[in-house]
Chain A
Amino acid sequence: MKPAPFDYVRPASIDEACAALAVEESVVIAGGQTLIPILAMRLARPARLVDIARIPGLAGIREEGDAVVIGATTRQVEAERSAVIAARVPLLARALPFVGHAPTRNRGTLGGSVANADPAAEIPLVLVTLGGVVVVHDGRTTQEIAAQEFVLGPMMTALATGALVVGLRFPVWPDRRIGVGFHEVSTRASDFAFAAAAAQIALDASGRCTKCTIGIGAATPRPVRRDALATKLIGSTLDDTDIRAGVADAVAELEIMVDSHASPDYRRRAAKALAVRALTDARDAARGVPV
């Protein structure tokens, strides 16, 4: 379990990092919590690692208008303990404790999780569910790519060679009564999920749903939003029957992933149950019922 040899460079700026990444066989390392096991098992043998962890300005959490922007190399633990995230992006705050486990969150980064695009990863699911954006720099220009268009499939993204994820933009809902829910199922806590669901809703003063978004991950090759379901639920009072009926339709057409860990049938049923729970939690939280 020792990695094959590689070179190691530590660029001082984003532009330097992009130049380094344009050289063939170079890969980014930030937290390394996914990359190092891959290297140790020799599933990959890159010629060199480009360490972006200490590039000034790449880490940090800041409010920018109607969004919170999280720098790519921000450690997951920082977001988990951040008062800004708790108050402004509560869905992310809810999901972060499910990401790996505490020691990997101490090193793992938010940008790394999205760039890696593991279907079971929680952070890309939250970003897709909220309609967030991946900020990418290619050495010349900075580009914003909708999360849904960024994550293409298992470990596949729209990131071009020589480009670097520099930040994630999470939309903030200004509504007064919002609630979130996040659920996943895995063989043991902290292991890869078989299915996961994330939901955020807003209610008006009368308890009617004014906004709704729901995403499903892990069961699917990439996180997907169920916009038709959200549209159906907006305007309703989110009664249990509304939620159940809507979710049943929404998971019926999902493209489910097949692998040796769980059957497609199980994953679909799990996705359905988890989506119902996530929406119910979100509704109850917005109603002020303790979840």
Chain B
Amino acid sequence: MKVELNVNNARASVEVEPRTTLVDCLRDNLGLTGTHTGCEHGICGACTVLLEGEPVRACLMLAVQADGYAITTIEAVAPAPGELSIVQDAFCETHGLQCGFCTPGMVLTAEALLRRIPDPTRADIVSAISANICRCTGYGQIVEAIALAAKRLAGSNLPRQVVPGEPA
């Protein structure tokens, strides 16, 4: 089936079988391999992407269901090649990642949280990432990273990070 997708603010026309999940389509058809696949049945959160700015599991969605939605993947988070977003930078600084497998999902989840709740409590952060499994960090540094990013975003006079596909 032919599907018209809007990924990271670019139109993409793909030819997929109906059974192709969004995450397989992103990785195999569009070469966007920053979105990871772990469990492929909705448990781990490695495949998290933003759909209209909200985190969803790309393994729990078929590519054929995704037309017409603004999809954001980890590839769109950095402001420019070689640079990091404030959230990504905070993950580096606090050792919020080790192997990096869960990181794209964690970063996107954090980006979405901080846009909805700019000044999150620890409980907000824990609840937001509770759907994402990390087998390395023990989560402590990830929580720290998101808290640090919130502080930096509040203090920065840059316009808030604009998620592609959303009106600025």
Contact = CB atoms under 8 A, between A and B. Distances in A.
Interface of A: 1-8, 29, 32-33, 36-37, 39-41, 49, 51, 53, 77, 101-104, 106-107, 189-190
Given A2-B19, A4-B19, A5-B17, A103 B40 contact: no
A102 B131 contact: yes
Main secondary structure of the interface of B (DSSP, over half): mixed
B57 A190 contact: no
Contacts of B56: 103, 106-107
A32 B39 contact: no
B137 to A, nearest CB: 17
Interface residues of B, number: 28
Interface of B: 1, 17-19, 21, 24, 39-42, 45, 48, 51, 54-57, 59-62, 64-65, 109, 127-128, 130-131
B60 to A, nearest CB: 5
Given A5-B17, A40-B59, 5 more contacts: A2-B24, A7-B18, A8-B1, A29-B65, A32-B61
A3 B19 contact: yes
A205 B42 CA distance: 48
A77 B39 CA distance: 24
Nearest to B64: A8
B54 A77 contact: yes
A121 B57 CA distance: 20
Contacts of A40: 21, 40-41, 59
Contact of A103 (B19, B24, B41, B45): B45
B51 A8 contact: no
A37 B42 CA distance: 7
B1 A101 contact: no
Contacts of B21: 2-3, 36, 40
Contacts of B19: 2-6, 39
